[in-house]
């Protein structure tokens, strides 16, 4: 990536602030579309289309419909 420098006035200074400034301590559970209130070792995030949120769970196929397709891609 190119080294980008900005000069405004007489001093070299970076004048572009990241939109994530101040969000250094953000965790997954603080995101509005993640349900991770009770965490245990080994949990993964699984998308729940009914709630339109990611749920932290130990089950890859939660609920009554137990279907799971894993596609590892092409190499």
Q: What's the pLDDT tens digit per position in 18-74?
A: 565 555 677 888 888 999 888 889 888 888 888 999 999 888 776 677 777 777 788
The answer to whether residue 47 is domain-embedded is: yes
The answer to whether residue 50 is domain-embedded is: yes
* Residues whose CB is less than 8 angstroms from the CB of residue 24 and which lie 6 or more positions away in sequence, other chains included: none
The answer to whether residue 56 is domain-embedded is: yes
Domain with 37, as residue range(s), is: 27-63
Q: Which of 29, 27, 59 is nearest to 43 (CA)?
A: 59
pTM over 0.85: no
The answer to whether residue 51 is domain-embedded is: yes
């Amino acid at each position: 990536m190119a080294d980008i420098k900005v000069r405004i006035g007489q001093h070299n200074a970076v004048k572009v602030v990241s939109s994530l400034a101040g969000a250094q301590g953000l965790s997954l559970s603080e995101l509005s579309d993640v349900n991770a209130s009770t965490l245990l070792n080994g949990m993964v995030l699984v998308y729940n289309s009914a709630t339109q949120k990611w749920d932290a769970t130990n089950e890859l196929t939660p609920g009554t419909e137990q279907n799971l397709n894993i596609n590892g891609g092409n190499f």
